[in-house]
Amino acid sequence: MPTLQRQPGPDYAAHVTVGVPIETAFAAISTVDGLRGWWTEHTDGSAEPGGKLRFEFPKYEITKFMRVEESTRPTLVRWICAECSLPEWVGTELTFELTEADPARTELRFTHAGLQPQLECYGSCSAGWDYYLRSLASYLETGTGQPYRPINRDLADLAGLAPRLHRVAGVGHRHGRSRRGRRPPSRPAGPGSEHIRPRKRRTHP
């Protein structure tokens, strides 16, 4: 599995090199079907410049709308967050930059400008990007990502995120401790996750 590396700077930024041609990588970030394969299966809208994409996480009642500012084949995709249930995201800029390392490898640099450590959501959002960018790398190299799937309760559930997501979104939730004071059992997010235990570190979808 490719190694994801955080980049220094005021905003969240990360870099990963994947073993696929640049055109393949571009399709994963510039088409609705590609985005469904690694971020959330609940993706629709237009990925063309000037279009708007909707990313939904129904279990948490979280929706993110991205306005496509630029989509230059095969090197650049840039969005502005137009609306979001997480207010810290509104107005932030998300950029995917692709560089051909060689005909069979592509360097991906992702920056979420405006997602900075002083924001309340930075810890969970940055951990969420770490998870989903690894999902993108897996999708590219193996054909299988780990997008948000309510039926499988994605990694965020195992990290105990649901209560915080509902607080941020301003809605009620059924998660947390049971009536007897016990936490409900976690469920595997997918292959290899059977031994993951809930931790204090949380991730956003």
Residue 170 CA to residue 204 CA, distance in Å, equals 15
Query: Where are the domains positioned within the chain?
Result: 5-147
Output helix, strand, coil percentages for the chain, rounded to the nearest 5: 25, 30, 45
Which CATH number does 5-147 carry?
Answer: 3.30.530.20
Query: What is the predicted pLDDT for the residue at 30?
Result: 98
Question: Taking CA 169 as the corner, what is the angle to CA 151 and CA 51, rounded to the nearest 5 degrees?
Answer: 80
* 4/17 Cα distance (integer angstroms): 8
pLDDT for position 191 = 40
Type of residue numbered 34? G
Per-residue pLDDT reduced to its tens digit, 28-80 = 999 999 999 999 999 999 999 999 999 999 988 999 999 999 999 999 999 99
Asked whether the predicted pLDDT for residue 178 surpasses 50, the reply is: no
Q: Check residue 190 and give its pLDDT.
A: 40
**Which segment of 10-24, 31-45, 89-103, 173-187 scores lowest on mean pLDDT?**
173-187
Mean pLDDT of 167-193: 40
CB atoms within 10 A of CB 34: 21
Q: Print burial letters for 44-69: b (CB count within 10 Å at least 16), e (below 16).
A: ebebeeeebbbbbbebbebbbbbbbe
For 87-144, the pLDDT digits (tens) are: 999 999 999 999 999 999 999 999 999 999 999 999 999 999 999 999 999 999 999 9
Question: What's the confidence (pLDDT) of residue 204?
Answer: 66
* Separation of alpha carbons 2 and 189, rounded Å: 20
Tell me the C-alpha to C-alpha distance, in Å, between residue 166 and each of 144, 163, 169, 172, 191.
Answer: 29, 5, 5, 6, 27
Tell me the whole-structure pTM to 2 decimals.
0.77
- What would the mean pLDDT of 14-34 be, rounded to a whole number? 98
User: Which has the closest alpha carbon to 1: 197, 98, 136, 96?
Assistant: 136
For residue 150, what are its two tokens?
């309510």
Location of structure tokens 């290899």: 192
